[in-house]
Structure 1
Amino acid sequence: MSTSSLGQRIRELRLRKGMTQIELAKGICTASMISQIESDRARPSYKMLVGLANRLEVALEHLLKEVDLEMEYTSKYKLAMGMMRAKEYGTAVSLLESLLQVEQHRIAKENLMLELVRCHLGLGNVEEAESGLNLLHQMVNNGVDDHLLVLVLLYLGKVGMLKSEFQIALYHTNRAWDELRKQEEIDPDVQAKILLQLAALHETIGKAAEAVKYYEEALLLNQGKGEDRGRTYLRLAELCDRAKRFELAEEYAGKACRLFEEGANQEDRQEVQRRLILLQRESGDWQGSLQKLLKMAEQYEQDGCKSKAGEVYADTALLCLEHGEYDGAWVYADKARMGLQDTSHVVGHVHRVFSSVYFHRKDEQRGMRHLENAANIFEQHGKVAEFEKVMLEICRFLSGRGEDREAFEGMERLHRFLMGQLQTRGIIL
């Protein structure tokens, strides 16, 4: 045992006493922390070491005997972890790569590689992340480290999502779920992450009922950061709103609001408030919702956030349009247009508003032009529901004017787009 790392020694002593990670951790730390210590992914504090030594019934000196704590390498590793928490992924990559080039330390190579993958994902380097995960999968797909295998599969699923390879993403995420359930001691944090990823995937491929189920299961497990729980409740609220389950949507939205008020930063709070206002617009007091949105847009303008202000003005324009206030819709759509970048998909909604106003004024030529602009933008951004709605409006208009051939071509365009989206999402008909 003289050449083992601190984590390996703790694991050997625990197994020798027939203890589980939960039993060893009780009153000292979490079982998840024990798992990380034993795999040398985390270093215990002195107080924690004393508690573990007492629980294992060994002298602290015996626990540390001939164990090289490698202060230089450990410090570099901790610095990399701190950089990752601060989202300074570029600096963390340099530190982790330098540790991977050294063989003298006892930090597990697999753990360094996994942290490097997380950095690449944070930087948007999907190909580098995938390459690292494939190497890791070959290294851990042998039953030696089941905990690490679950994480590798989870991140492979994440890569699949980022590449829009949704069936591959589902395959890896489901495998992560299956592997996790085989373990005697299930880490609830990892379990919640898998459930949230499954929820997001099912939402993306249009399986809303399954997505709601996974989100609800994740919330039962995830007692962590209020902001994370708030975002999950908000996703549930939006799914229920889409399904016309307005009472349940409002309940989830209220829970999201309370959680964000407790702990989120100002930017998060504003974004959540905006989405909550839109979710609650069915309550009847739409003018009250309008005033709240206008106040928010003005605040964004004062803060110099032109694009955010543009998005909120687009919301106000759509709200006015829903209630037949065409003059107000025009004014706010114009304000949105001035704040938004041309590449934003929200510009498509602005064109929709302009189109409706022009049609209301009997200016069909300009109305049609803006409708086509909206269709082009939604198609470019892959916005399925929005593109379908606009194309159906175009086809109905053309058919009403007796332009059946053009209407048929529009339906063919919509069909090609929908089939392409289904194939992209891994659904072959």
Structure 2
Amino acid sequence: MDRTLGQRVRKFRNQKGMTQIELAEGLITPSMVSQIESDRARPSYKVLAEIAARLEVPLEQLLKGVNLDLEYSSKYKLALGMVRANEFGTAIPLLESLVEYAPFKIPKGNVLLELARCQLEVGNVTEAESNLNQLANHEQSAAMLPQVLLLLGKAAELKSELPIALFLTKRALEEVLKAEQLDADLHVKFLMQLAALLGKVGKAGEAVRYYEQALQLDHGSREERAKTYLRLAEMFDRQKKYEQAEDYASKAAVLLEEQSNEKIRQELQHRSIMLLRGSGDWKSAVQQLLSLAQRCEREADRAGAGKVYADIALICREHQSFDEARTYAEQARKALPDTDPAMGKVHRVLADVSFYKHDDRKGQTHLDDAVKIFEQHGMAAELEEAVLVMCRHLSSKGDFQEAFRKLENYHQYLLQALGHRGIVL
């Protein structure tokens, strides 16, 4: 079995039918390829990633089962390179081995922090929280406290514990602002996470303040600025400040014209159309979204198409076109998993259609389903709106006892969510 990196590179190169000269061309010297294959030289992460690309092998597969007996510092640098390149799953085994075997060569806190970051990215929330709590309770990790709190906030968000996530992220920002020299990129990261959480819990006005602060500090990519503009537009739209929403959505649209990543461009274009739908012909917005949905279907992106159909249904409902709203909501329903967050929107539309058709029982069922999804995903703003609609409808029918019961259930949900369980103080 090929246990060294050099053996693996040689094996895949031979399978590909490449010479050392062909593999090295424009990257490194053929002599360096020879040294790598004989395990006399260790490539940097950048070189290793390019070698994997030329061999048409996923980096994780190239490294699978390899005994990376590197010097600890080299192994750490390699792991950091993987993290920066978003190769989180590949970095985890390296970082885990460093935690176990290199406590004196490299600060253990740094390794644990990067390991927790990777674990969150691949969805291992419990393991990440364990490592982060270990850091938070260690006096020598005080300098890392802002980042630890930020990641704990992210973990809480992934568990749909939004009040806890908000509490931790606010604390993280407070801690980072105490620094004598503030890193602008780090500051932006904290502001963006806090703004996004505030938006999720329905505090659009506060979210705007933090997004605008982030924009003033951030000189990042056009894609990131476009995303921030769209988030600002969404927050103003929620506050019914349509002029500001249109202004930011238009700024995003300009930046999106030069976005090269097709999938990202489609996603942002979708959001931009939704935000600009109030400033023009709504039927034109529907046609634009239909084109997007059809493109998603051609690319076998059923979930993407489902989310677009859900928004088309929403626009039709907003303009009292209930038959069309039901048609597109059902198309979304066929494309989306039952528990997808967008299904909450679908059930809200179907509830309104049912009430319009005087089918109160079906309307109530759809509202109940919407509430369950909003609760499951911690969608506080959407949940509040759905519960209020439900209670108003029940009250209008004279069913005050059931309306009170629904409101009491919502109150209990909030009390449970607001319990500060698991927060590191």
User: Which TM-score applies when normalising by structure 1?
Assistant: 0.72
Which residue pairs with 2:335 in the alignment? 339
Please name the residue that 1:412 is paired with. Answer: 405
Q: Equivalent residue for 2:16?
A: none
Please show how residues 145-164 of structure 1 align to structure 2 within 5 Å.
146=143, 148-164=144-160
How many angstroms does 1:222 deviate by? Answer: 1.5
Structure 2 counterpart of 1:113: 112
CA distance in 2, matches of 1:142, 1:353: 49
State which of 271, 290, 302 in structure 2 corresponds to 1:275. Answer: 271
Larger radius of gyration, structure 1 or 2? 1
Identity %: 49
Query: What is the Cα deviation at residue 251 of structure 1?
Result: 1.6
Match of 2:173 in 1: 177
**Is the Cα–Cα contact under 8 Å of residues 141 and 149 in structure 1 kept in the other structure?**
no
Structure 1 SS opposite 2:182: coil
Gaps of 5+ in 2: 1-43, 45-68, 421-425
Q: Which residue of 2 aligns with 1:297?
A: 293
How far residue 294 of structure 1 moved from its aligned partner, in angstroms, is: 0.7
Q: Are 2:200 and 2:381, in contact at CA under 8 Å, matched by a contact in 1? A: no
In structure 1, distance between residues paired with 2:231 and 2:196 = 9
In the aligned structure 1, how far is the partner of 2:173 from the partner of 2:377? 31
TM superposition shift of 1:425: 4.0
**198-207 or 366-375: which moved more?**
366-375
The aligned runs of 1:282-361 (5 Å cut-off) are 282-361=278-357
From 192, 195, 198, the counterpart of 1:196? 192
- Quick check: 1:192–1:221 contact (8 Å CA) kept in 2? yes
AA matched with 2:325: A
Mapped to 2, the partners of 1:171 and 1:358 lie a distance apart of 39
Q: Structure 2 length as normaliser, TM-score?
A: 0.73
Partners of 1:120 and 1:129 within 8 A in 2: yes
**Closer, same or farther: CA 334–154 of 1 in aligned 2, 3 Å:** closer
Q: Letter of the 1:279 partner, please give it.
A: L
Any idea what SS the aligned residue of 2:327 has?
A: helix
Aligned residues: 354
**Aligned AA (2:406):** R
Kept in 1, the 8 Å contact 2:160–2:378? The answer is no
Q: CA 1:102 to 1:279, structure 2 compared with 1: closer, same or farther past 3 Å?
A: same
C-alpha separation between the residues in 1 aligned to 2:388 and 2:76?
A: 56
Q: For 1:90-239, what aligned pairs fall within 5 Å after superposition? A: 90-103=89-102, 106-141=105-140, 146=143, 148-166=144-162, 168-239=164-235
CA distance in 1: counterparts of 2:232 and 2:122, whole angstroms? 28
Preserved contact between residue 189 and residue 222 of structure 1 (Cα < 8 Å) = yes
Deviations 1:247-288 (A, max 9, x none): 111122222233344346211111111111111111131111
Unaligned runs of 5+ in 1: 1-42, 44-69
Cα gap change, 1:152 to 1:255, in 2 (>3 Å):
same
Structure 1 residues 131 and 264: alpha-carbon distance in aligned structure 2, compared to 1, 3 A threshold:
farther
**Contact 2:184–2:217 under 8 Å retained in 1:** yes
For the 8 Å contact 2:236–2:242, the answer to whether it is kept is yes
CA distance in 2, matches of 1:168, 1:392: 24
CA shift for structure 1 position 380: 4.7
CA 1:189–1:379 in 2, change beyond 3 Å: closer, same or farther?
A: closer
Contact 1:396 1:407 in 2 (8 A): no
Is 2:261 aligned against 1:265?
yes
Distance 1:123 1:345 in 2: 19
Change (3 A) 1:410 1:377: farther
Task: Provide the rounded CA distance (Å) in 2 between the counterparts of 1:376 and 1:396.
Answer: 18
Return closer, same or farther for 1:396/1:110 CA change in 2, 3 Å cut-off.
closer
**1:160–1:166 CA contact under 8 A, matched in 2:** yes
SS of 1:131's partner is helix
Contact 1:391 1:410 in 2 (8 A): no
Mean CA deviation greater in 194-203 or 235-244: 194-203
Bigger drift between 160-169 and 111-120 goes to: 160-169
The CA distance in 2 between the partners of 1:170 and 1:354, in whole Å, is 32
In structure 1, C-alpha distance between the alignment counterparts of 2:365 and 2:147, rounded to whole Å: 49
Q: Which has the higher contact order (CA 8 A, sep 6+)?
A: 2
Distance 1:345 1:164 in 2: 12
Q: 244-253 or 416-425: which moved more?
A: 416-425
- Structure 1 position 289, deviation (Å): 0.5
Greater than 6 Å deviation, 4+ residue runs? none
Distance 1:109 1:226 in 2: 36
Q: CA deviation at 1:409?
A: 1.2
Amino acid at match of 1:421: L
Please state how far the C-alpha of 1:190 moved relative to its aligned partner: 1.2
- Report deviation, 1:142: 7.1
SS where residue 152 of structure 1 aligns? helix
Give, as a single letter, the amino acid of the residue that structure 2 aligns with 1:414. L
Q: Taking structure 1 as reference, are residues 84 and 306 closer, same or farther at Cα in structure 2, changes over 3 Å only?
A: same
After superposition, the Cα gap between the structure-2 partners of 1:281 and 1:72, relative to the gap in structure 1 and judged at 3 Å, is: same
Superposed displacement of residue 328, structure 1: 2.0
1:140/1:149 contact within 8 Å kept: no
Residue aligning to 1:47:
none
The alignment's C-alpha RMSD in Å is: 3.1
Q: CA deviation at 1:387?
A: 4.3
